[in-house]
Structure 1
Amino acid sequence: MAECDECGAYENMPYQCHRCGNTFCSDHRLPESHNCPGLADWNDPSGVFDSGFDDSVRNRGRSDTGVFDRAKAYVGRQTSTGGVVSFFRGNATYLFLALMWVTFGFQFFIFSFFLGIPLTSSLWRSVFVLSTGHPLYVWTWITSVFAHGGFTHIAFNSIALYFFGPVVERRLGTKRFTALFLGAGALAGLAQVGATLLISPGIQTGVVGASGAIMAVMGLLTVLRPNLTVYLYFIIPMPLWLLTIGFAAFSAVAGLSSIGPGGIANWAHLAGLGLGLAYGAVVKRTRSVPESIRVGGGPGGPGRRRF
């Protein structure tokens, strides 16, 4: 017995889509019934029906096939169904994870090591940090979501997004999940900057990290599956609703007493959580979530386990 990746129904004889690799019930087995990303390449000669054969072999010695044509064919194969890029199509969670680590590399290696731009410089901050000094640097509303303050910061956020992101994305769909993640992340950062300006005017501070966006994901999941068992520090089991309430209470007290112990963006966490809870109330009327979270192997891949 398997679970349909579209509606969550259990199926004794499941169907596996050969284009996206996910498992579906009889009602959603057809590609058009589960919005399969392979549909976009149905009539693309370089996509579904591409043999992968390098045309340059057939045209060796001919002047009409140059480097540009071979490069174009290679890009077409990688971006079509079955290519490397196709893995991220319909899997925004893993795309966001990749962008977080790529941005981290730019922060601490490309900018600092190769370009020699100090981490405390105004240029570095203007690229990656949403700050009280320049809240209208609109690009930082997004770049600050993917930027992080250190390895521990990005590691914990990556673990949380890896566990909770895919199950929420399957229920919302990739487009809505993308809008939630980016929108909540940007608004959470702006909430932190705004709270700082109101509570402690004159203090120059900034915010980085995907914590606000991830809290929105957890808030939405709390509304849909409040009794989902999670493990605090990977050891202490508790229902998700209890963890959410405890975290919200801590963030509220810490946020009112100061801008945050240890540089924690408590108001960003609260804003992200509030957005997730509000959107979860809307989603709950029309969608459901599975009874367990699958971890490992990627969507539709081998080695998936249930918790």
Structure 2
Amino acid sequence: MRATLETLGVTLLVGAVQVALGVVGLAGLFVLSTPLAVAPWTVVTSVYAHGSIGHLLANALALLLVGPLVERRTTRRRFHAFVVGTGALAGVAQVTLGGVLGPSPAVLGISGAVFALGGYLLAGNVVSATVFDRLRLSGRAQFALFGLAAVLLTATTATTAAPGVALIAHGVGAFCGLVAGRVGLLDVQ
């Protein structure tokens, strides 16, 4: 559970820095928005930053549920790279695609990475591998199935989500995790 707790520690540290900087009006230094070139560091910092204590607590709980299960199958370095990579990709997708659908949004939080960890668990286990091997689906069919599964996973959160929740980030995170789990990207065996 070491990498999960380290990730949670970084999230709490960034939250504390956010609060401190918020006192002088600089909490926005962590927010990912477009154009990305204006503040490129936010691609990473936004993964660990959160909009409120409730937001942070919800994501921390979800991380504590799925993180240790993925962590047992990989190295600390791979775990952290996966969290940063999928979280950043989910955030960039949210601000890029969300901007196409309406005003350019801003994004904060580790939920895209948490959805990726959950997707990894769903597609990267023995039962799923057995089912996929028996079905003998083509790569394209599996890709499409993962896309549908990501949409369904995201839709389940959309029904209870507060306004402004990064649903595109959730879907992209889940999709990345499903694909990574299927190919065993993090497995060290």
TM-score normalised to structure 2 length:
0.77
Counterpart of 1:216 in structure 2 is 116
Q: What does the per-residue CA deviation read over 1:221-276, in whole Å, with 9 as the maximum and x for residues that have no partner?
A: 0113487xxxxxxxxxxxxxxx977423346x88xxxxx85110000001111110
Counterpart of 1:124 in structure 2 is 27
Counterpart of 2:56 in structure 1 is 154
Q: How many residues align?
A: 167
Counterpart of 1:264 in structure 2 is 165
Query: Which of structures 1 and 2 has the larger relative contact order (alpha carbons within 8 angstroms, sep 6+)?
Result: 2
Listed as ranges, the gaps of 5+ residues in structure 2 are 128-148
Q: For 1:279 and 1:168, locate their aligned partners in 2 and report how far apart those are by CA, in whole Å.
A: 12
- The one-letter amino acid paired with 1:224 is G
Ranges of 4+ aligned residues in structure 1 off by more than 2 Å: 224-227, 243-251
Please give the residue correspondences for 1:61-210 in structure 2 after superposition, counting only pairs within 5 Å: 91-108=2-19, 110-112=20-22, 116-118=23-25, 123-125=26-28, 127-132=29-34, 134-136=35-37, 137-200=39-102, 203-210=103-110
Coordinate RMSD, CA, aligned: 2.8
Listed as ranges, the gaps of 5+ residues in structure 1 are 1-89, 228-242, 255-259, 289-307
Contact 2:30 2:46 in 1 (8 A): yes
- The one-letter amino acid paired with 1:249 is A
- The one-letter amino acid paired with 1:193 is V
Larger radius of gyration: 1
Q: For 2:85 and 2:42, locate their aligned partners in 1 and report how far apart those are by CA, in whole Å.
A: 13
Q: For 2:47 and 2:74, locate their aligned partners in 1 and report how far apart those are by CA, in whole Å.
A: 20
| Residues 94 and 207 of structure 1: CA distance in aligned 2, closer, same or farther (over 3 Å) | same
Q: From the two aligned structures, give the one with the greater strand fraction.
A: 1
CA positional deviation for 1:186: 0.4
- The one-letter amino acid paired with 1:217 is L
- The one-letter amino acid paired with 1:111 is L
SS in structure 2 at match of 1:171: coil
Query: Could you tell me the percent identity over the aligned residues?
Result: 35
Residue 177 of structure 2: which of 265, 276, 286 is its match? 276
TM-score normalised to structure 1 length:
0.49
Contact 2:96 2:104 in 1 (8 A): no
Q: What does the per-residue CA deviation read over 1:18-63, in whole Å, with 9 as the maximum and x for residues that have no partner?
A: xxxxxxxxxxxxxxxxxxxxxxxxxxxxxxxxxxxxxxxxxxxxxx
Q: For 1:152 and 1:279, locate their aligned partners in 2 and report how far apart those are by CA, in whole Å.
A: 29
- The one-letter amino acid paired with 1:205 is P
Contact 1:222 1:244 in 2 (8 A): no
